[in-house]
Amino acid sequence: MHAFVRGLRTDVPRPADAVRIGYRPEQPGFRRRDTDEIVVAASAVWFEPDGTAWAANPIPSLETYL
C-alpha cells in the first residue's frame, strides 16, 4: 500500500473552495494538483464519480516550507 484515506462516508456536497488533490505511486504523498504541494491532512475529502479527489482545508507537509 502506498497511501490511504480514513473517514466516514457522507452525502455532504463538495464546497466550491475545495482543492483538487491526487496521488501518483512514483511520488510521495497526496498532492495538490494546482501547486504540487504534498498534503498530509484535510478537514474533509470528496471522491467524485469521475475519479477526481477534492480536499477542504488541505494541510501541507512541513517539507513544503523547508
From first to last of its 66 residues, the chain has per-residue pLDDT tens of: 566 777 888 889 999 999 999 988 888 788 999 999 999 999 999 999 898 999 999 999 886 555
d(CA 58, CA 13): 17
The phi, psi pair for 16, rounded to 5°, reads -65, -25
Give the model's pLDDT for residue 13. Answer: 93
What pTM value is reported for the model?
0.80
**Local structure of 39: helix, strand or coil:** strand
Q: DSSP state, 7? A: -
Q: Which residues contact 50 (CB under 8 A, 6 or more apart)?
A: none
In the chain, where the domains are located: 19-65
Q: CA dist 54 to 4, 18, 28, 65, Å?
A: 14, 6, 18, 22
Cell of 54: 477534492
